[in-house]
Structure 1
Amino acid sequence: MNLSVILPTYNRLGQLKQVLAGLEAQTEPLDSFEVIVVSDGSPDGTDDYLRALETPLRVTAVFQPNQGVAATRNHGLAKATGDLVLFIDDDVVPAPELIARHRAAHVRLGPKAIVMGPMLSPAPEQFAMAPWVQWEQAMLMKQYNDMIAGNWQPTARQFYTGNTSLRRAHLLASGGFDASFRRAEDVELAYRLADLGLTFHFEPEAIGYHYAQRSFASWSAIPYAYGRNDVIFTRDKGQNWLLTTIFTEFHGRHSLIRNLAQLCLDRAALSKIALHSLKLAGSLGHKIGNETISRMAYSAIFNLRHYQGIADELGGRNQFFQAVAANTPSLALPLSGVGDLAPSPSQGEGWGEGKLSTPKETTH
C-alpha cells in the first residue's frame, strides 16, 4: 500500500531534522513511502536546508508564503501520490515501526479506517518540558490509557494530525482542511470525515515522541480558542450535540471549576487575578513535587479559559449560564469528577497561533 507522509513545518529546523532522521530509521523500506515536507514561509533557514538536503528518503520539498497549518497540510495533500496519507507534525519524532504499524492497521481495519497513534513524552533527561506542557501530556496519556483499556472508543475529537493516517481519497472527497481555522482545523475536518462514514481507531504501537515547546501565554490561549470554535462548530458546522454536551457536563465539574466560572467569566480584573494565582500554584506544586496541586491548577486554568471562549462567542456570561441552566442533567445521569479538559497535541509556537484539536471528553 503506497503511503505519503505529509510533514508541515514552520520555524522549527532543529526538530525537523530529528523527525527526518526518525523517518530514515523506519523498519519499512525507505522506497515504499514518500515524504512531502511543506515549509510555511519558515524564516529560520528551513528552506535552504531542504533545498540542499541529501537523504535516502524520497523527499519532495514544497515552499509557500506563510498561510497557516491548514493550508500547509492542504498543499502537501495536493502533492501526495500515495493511497494512504500519514500526517506527522514537525515536533513528533517517529519510532522505527511507526509507518509499519499504520500500514498494518489499515490492512486489518479496512478502507474506512482513520488510524491515530500516540504522541508520547520523550524521557525527561532527553527533553525538558514546561510544567503546563507536562500537564497536557499527562491528560493525553489518560486518554490513551482509557482507549487501550476500552473505556471508550476514539471519535473525531481524537483526530490528532501529529500522528494520523487515512486514505487519500477520503481526504480529497472531504475537501481537505478548512484554512479559515487557525486552531481545531483538524477536528473540524474530522467531523466531515465522520459524516462520510469513516471510523476512528487508536493504534498504541504507532508511536511518535512529542518534543512539545510552548510558552504559558501560547498554552493558555489554546482553550480559549477551543471554546470559540465549539460554538462555531455547533452554530455553523451542524455539530448540534457539541454545546449541549459541554453545558451538561458543566454540572459535573469540580466545584472549584464551577465557582471560578461563576466568579470570573466576563470579569477581566478577577480573571486576571485568578489566572495569575493559579499559574503560581501550578508552578509551586511542580517545584515541590506535588503534582496534585499542579494538575488542579492547570486544569482550572484550562477550563476557565475554555468557558470564557464559549461565553465570548455566545455573546457573554448571561448567555453562557442560561445555556448551562437549560441543559441541567437528570439525577440519573452520571457526572464527571475533577473535570480536566484533556487537550490534544499542539504545533506549539509554530504558525503563530499554533494548533490544538478540540478535546473529546473529560478526564478525572
Structure 2
Amino acid sequence: MFNRPKEVEELLESLVAQTFLDDFEVLIIEDGSTEKSEDAIAKYKKRLRLRYFFKENSGAGASRNFGMQKASGNYYIILDSDVILPKHYLSEIKEILESAFTDAFGGPDAAHTSFTTLQKAINYAMTAVLTTGGIRGKKSSVVKFQPRSFNFGLSKAAFEKTGGFSRMKNGEDIDLTFRLWQKGFETQLIERAFVYHKRRASVQQFLEQTYGFGTARPLLNKKYPQTAKLTYWFPSLFIIGLYASLIVVFFGYPQTLGFYCLYFFTIFLDSLLQNRNLKVAFLSIIATYIQFLGYGLGYLKSQFLSKNTGF
C-alpha cells in the first residue's frame, strides 16, 4: 500500500463486516508511504486480528512477498488497498476451495454504487467483453484463468515453491501465474469472490496505468514465448487504424472511420444497459479509447524500443 489511508480504512471496514466465522489475520504492508495509515488503522486493531508493517518503498510485488513471509496462515489473499469487499467474500472463497481446491485463485472486480461516474466507466472498460474479452472475470471467456494482483489467492506451498512475485513493475501477477503453471500448480476463477475495485484514477492516471500494462506484455512474451498471442497486438492495431482512418477521411474515404463510430456507439449502448446511466455510458467511450491508447502505445514501445527485460 502506498499513500492510501482513506482507501485502506474502507477496506478494513468491509473486512469487519464479513459474515465469515473462522479466524483470520490481516496484514497491512505500508510501502514507504509519505501519507502513513497508522491513524486510520489504529481504530481497527480491536476489531480485527491486525498487524501493521512499515517498510522502505520497494514496489508492490516485493511488498506482497514481504507480507506473505510475515503471515502465519497457510493460504494468503492479496488485495489492493483500493478495494472494498462484499460481506460474503471470504465465505464464498472458503466454500469453493473446500469443494475444488487450487493453490491459486483470482476473482473479478466490479463497480460499487458509491463510485464516481469515471470510476464506473473505467471499470466498464477494464471488464467488458467488448473491450477486454472479459479476461478479468467472465468465466465463459477464459480457458485457464490468470489471476490479477488486486484480488489474488495463493497457498503457502505455492508461494514457497515459486518465490512469489517477481521484480517486474507491471505484469508481475501474470508472471507469477505462468510460473505457477510451470511448477504444476492450478489456478481458478472464483466468480462469486468479486471485489469492488475503486481505482483512485483520473483520465491521466488511467492512461499511465494502461501504458504500464502494455509495456509488460512484450516482456512476458519474451520470457514465456509459448504464451504469446496475436490478440495482444489488437490495442496497438486498433489505435493505428483509428488514426489512419481519420487521415483517409480527408481523401474521401470515410468508410473505415464508420466502423470505429459503430464500435464506439456499441460501447455506449452496452455500458448504458449495464450501468443505466448516460454519463457513465459516454465516459465509457472515453475510457475505452484511453485504455486502447495507453496499452497500445506501451506495447509498441516495449516491443520495438525497450532493451530492458524488467526481470
With the length of structure 1 as denominator, give the TM-score of the two structures.
Answer: 0.66
What percentage of aligned pairs have identical amino acids?
22
How many correspondences in the alignment? 277
Say whether residues 1:311 and 2:294 are aligned partners. no
1:222 maps to which residue? Answer: 209
CA, structure 1 residues 308+82, in 2 after alignment: closer, same or farther (shift >3 Å)? same
Say whether residues 1:70 and 2:61 are aligned partners. yes
- SS at 1:37's partner residue? strand
| Equivalent residue letter for 1:195 | Q
What pairs up with 1:1-364 in 2 under 5 angstroms? 9-29=1-21, 32-50=23-41, 53-110=44-101, 112-123=102-113, 126-130=114-118, 134-142=121-129, 143=134, 147-148=138-139, 150-156=140-146, 159-179=147-167, 181-235=168-222, 237-242=223-228, 244-247=230-233, 249=234, 258-260=241-243, 289=278, 294-315=283-304
| Partner Cα separation in structure 2 for residue 244 and residue 172 of structure 1 | 33
User: Structure 1 unaligned runs (5+)?
Assistant: 1-8, 265-277, 317-364
1:352 maps to which residue? Answer: none
| Partner Cα separation in structure 1 for residue 11 and residue 122 of structure 2 | 24
Task: Identify the structure with the greater helix proportion.
Answer: 2
CA, structure 1 residues 105+16, in 2 after alignment: closer, same or farther (shift >3 Å)? same
User: Is contact 2:118-2:283 (8 Å) kept?
Assistant: no
| Equivalent residue letter for 1:167 | S
| Partner Cα separation in structure 2 for residue 184 and residue 194 of structure 1 | 16
Which shows bigger deviation, 305-314 or 55-64? 305-314
CA, structure 1 residues 186+138, in 2 after alignment: closer, same or farther (shift >3 Å)? same
- SS at 2:72's partner residue? coil
| Partner Cα separation in structure 1 for residue 285 and residue 191 of structure 2 | 27
CA, structure 1 residues 260+300, in 2 after alignment: closer, same or farther (shift >3 Å)? farther
| Partner Cα separation in structure 2 for residue 25 and residue 301 of structure 1 | 35
User: Is contact 1:261-1:304 (8 Å) kept?
Assistant: no
With the length of structure 2 as denominator, give the TM-score of the two structures.
Answer: 0.76
User: Is contact 1:129-1:213 (8 Å) kept?
Assistant: no
Q: CA deviation at 1:227?
A: 2.2
| Partner Cα separation in structure 1 for residue 109 and residue 49 of structure 2 | 24
| Partner Cα separation in structure 2 for residue 305 and residue 145 of structure 1 | 18
| Partner Cα separation in structure 2 for residue 199 and residue 173 of structure 1 | 13
- SS at 2:148's partner residue? coil
| Partner Cα separation in structure 2 for residue 176 and residue 262 of structure 1 | 44
User: Is contact 1:257-1:303 (8 Å) kept?
Assistant: no
Q: CA deviation at 1:121?
A: 0.8
User: Is contact 1:27-1:100 (8 Å) kept?
Assistant: yes
| Partner Cα separation in structure 2 for residue 138 and residue 298 of structure 1 | 6
For 1:107-147, what per-residue CA distance to the aligned partner results, in whole angstroms no more than 9, with x for missing partners? 1112x342222222111xx231426x513335415428973
Q: Report the aligned-residue RMSD.
A: 3.3
